[in-house]
A and B are shown apart, each in its own frame.
Chain A
Amino acid sequence: MSVDAATVRRIAHLARIAVSEGEVPHLQGELNAMLAFVEQLSEVNVEGVEPMTSVTPMQMKKRQDVVDDGEIADDIVANAPATEGHFFLVPKVVE
């Protein structure tokens, strides 16, 4: 399988990465090189094989449903590019 220019633009949008028109052909070539490389997987017989979900056979650990952390709002916003009080600032989303 290979991707065309429209697909490259669609993937870029899904990934939320701005891509200029000039970059599309180059990206398309690179993505197609990767897709050509992984194409060899189609020759493997995976009939009846379970997909891997955990590399170590272990039970998913569960925690007690209790609050064991918090009251650290200052820490949470400490690295934000734009804040007001303990809120993150973003461009207007809802009209």
Chain B
Amino acid sequence: MTDLTSLTLAEARKGLAAKTFTSLELTDAHLSAIEAARVLNAFVMETPEQARDMARAVDEKIAKGDAGPLAGIPLGIKDLFATKGVRTTACSKILGNFVPTYESTITSQLWRDGAVMLGKLNNDEFAMGSANETSCFGPVGNPWRREGSNTTLVPGGSSGGSASAVAALLCMGATATDTGGSIRQPAAFTATVGIKPTYGRCSRWGIVAFASSLDQAGPIARSVRDSAMLLRSMAGHDPKDTTSVDIPVPDYEAAIGKSVKGMKIGIPREYRLDGMPAEIEKLWSEGAAWLKAAGAELVEVSLPHTKYALPAYYIVAPAEASSNLARYDGVRYGLREQGRNINELYENTRAEGFGAEVRRRVMIGTYVLSAGYYDAYYLRAQKVRTLIKKDFEDCFARGVDAILTPATPSAAFGIGEKGGADPVEMYLNDIFTVTVNMAGLPGIAVPAGKDAQGLPLGLQLIGRPFEEETLFSLGEVIEQAAGRFTPARWW
């Protein structure tokens, strides 16, 4: 039965509907795969009992013929999503053994539609990282390795557990979140598909907050179609999130296979970096050629403020994080370290509970918001953000339907290889993805090829606000041309 894990979500849906196998069989196949892949450290909590109970319940519904659009599909959930009765930590020591008494809106919608939870997935602590190395549960292994090498590589981050588990066939899809590239960069590093929808498309309620004006959830999946199916269930208006948008959720799957003839695709010249590896450049041209062959029109565009997106992000995101993370005080939930007075209790708890990267970002955020520095740093960054968004608006006003870029400046790297001496080295991973968060736009990463060492590389498509359907149509063209990629099993 283990080959059940190699199906796409769309194929599994057919098999379940035709009663070729049950959700319990599909779930058990994935639970065995998870057990055999513990060396990847993708799951921080396995919930096999709950998974089997959910699968049995949904099997009964399928038998009665009243199953939802994701009926019986086993998923992994990033540990940033609050799951009722199941430990949720954001992979931080400071949340300790936090067990939510409520369910996040997104996961409750997935269960409403019949999905089955296999467990909680590893991520960078509070989603702060690009390699899944800052998790208090330790790093995650990428199922992909360089040809002829035994070195374990990072799966990217912060949704590293999600990407690794989907690529290693441990779950049929996973929830993820993206503040600066945390869905798209790990998707690109693992040959999976990841979409960050438009800001406001998915509810943030019940997701551990990092930077609220940038955070947006989305799926990581095995194919473009699978990601469309998952997003349809995840998206939607939620009165509990005031930034969630009250517009109908389209049937994203209907966009798969739609003609892209006549669509205008922007190729931004500022994304052609000095010293960019030749294979990324080649992949980008290939992707453009595939879209052209499918009838799209290519146009060179300019996004002049691109280079300022990452520095502006490293003011805005830590500022919001320093405010959001003020709630971890050792009083209401999570870890407590004693002190002689309340201030010492706060300071000791937060010193012990936050990892190095989180401490650094909370401190920089505190600094840029502090009296005397607010205008020079925070206010200026918010102005630059307006300019970054305007670059995209100008481009779309000229009739551009979507923008094609590389997803990452390199393929996956080794654990411990980057950011040791200078944190900025790690931050540069998000150089192509962070602009999209700053402008609140949708972006999808689709596997498009491999580098000379056999590692996957992805392309990114950026769309107009709430036009995710365009990204699915274009993403499908790339997937059809590039094919799908599966790592050779070594674990």
Contact = CB atoms under 8 A, between A and B. Distances in A.
Interface in B424-458: 424, 427, 438-440
A50 B422 CA distance: 33
Given A44-B305, A44-B308, A55-B440, A33 B346 contact: no
B38 interface: no
Contacts of A88: 331-332
B440 A33 contact: no
A16 B382 contact: no
Contacts of A34: 314, 360, 364, 423-424
Given A17-B350, A41-B380, A55 B199 contact: yes
A93 B329 CA distance: 15
Interface string A9-27: 0011111111100000001
B465 A18 contact: no
Nearest to B441: A55
Interface residues of B, number: 73
A58 B440 CA distance: 13
Nearest to A15: B366
A2 to B, nearest CB: 11
Nearest to B375: A51
B341 A51 contact: no
B362 A17 contact: yes
Contacts of A40: 307-308, 311
A80 B99 CA distance: 11
Contacts of B322: 15
B162 to A, nearest CB: 24
Interface string A38-80: 1111101010011111111010110100000000100110111
A61 B382 CA distance: 22
Given A30-B360, A38-B311, A51-B383, A56 B245 contact: yes
Interface string B311-355: 110110000001000100111111110011111111110110010
The secondary-structure label for the interface of chain B is helix
Question: Quick one: which of A12, A38, A56 has the most chain B CB within 10 A?
Answer: A38
Given A17-B350, A56-B465, A80-B333, A11 B198 contact: no
Contacts of A50: 383, 386
Interface residues of A, number: 52
Contacts, number: 163
Question: Quick one: which of A8, A37, A42, A60 has the most chain B CB within 10 A?
Answer: A37
Given A44-B387, A46-B387, A51-B383, A58 B200 contact: yes
Contact of A41 (B312, B340, B348): B312
B334 to A, nearest CB: 7
A18 B367 CA distance: 16
Contacts of B359: 17, 27
A15 B369 CA distance: 11
Nearest to B386: A52
Interface in B368-390: 370, 373, 376-377, 379-387, 389
B424 A11 contact: no
B363 interface: yes
Question: Quick one: which of A19, A34, A39, A56 has the most chain B CB within 10 A?
Answer: A34
Nearest to A7: B367
A40 B342 CA distance: 39
A33 B332 contact: no
Given A30-B423, A31-B360, A44-B387, A80 B331 contact: yes
Contacts of A14: 366, 370
A85 interface: no
Contacts of B97: 79
B313 to A, nearest CB: 9
B290 interface: no
Contact of B315 (A7, A38, A63): A38
Given A16-B346, A17-B347, A79-B333, A49 B386 contact: yes
Contacts of A6: none
A18 B366 contact: no
A30 B422 CA distance: 7
Given A12-B363, A41-B308, A55-B389, A19 B351 contact: yes
Counting from the closest, the 10 A-B pairs by CB-CB distance are A55-B440, A51-B382, A79-B333, A81-B336, A18-B351, A18-B347, A75-B101, A46-B383, A16-B346, A15-B366
Interface of B: 97-99, 101-102, 198-200, 213, 239, 242-243, 245, 305, 307-308, 310-312, 314-315, 322, 326, 329-336, 339-348, 350-351, 354, 359-360, 362-364, 366-367, 370, 373, 376-377, 379-387, 389, 422-424, 427, 438-440, 465
Given A1-B376, A52-B389, 4 more contacts: A16-B329, A18-B351, A30-B360, A46-B384
30 contacts: A11-B363, A15-B362, A15-B366, A16-B347, A17-B347, A17-B350, A18-B344, A18-B350, A19-B351, A27-B363, A30-B423, A35-B364, A37-B314, A38-B311, A38-B312, A38-B314, A41-B312, A41-B381, A44-B383, A46-B383, A49-B387, A51-B383, A55-B199, A56-B245, A58-B243, A63-B239, A75-B101, A81-B333, A88-B331, A90-B345
Interface of A: 1, 3, 7-8, 11-19, 27, 30-31, 33-35, 37-42, 44, 46, 49-56, 58, 60-61, 63, 72, 75-76, 78-82, 88, 90-93
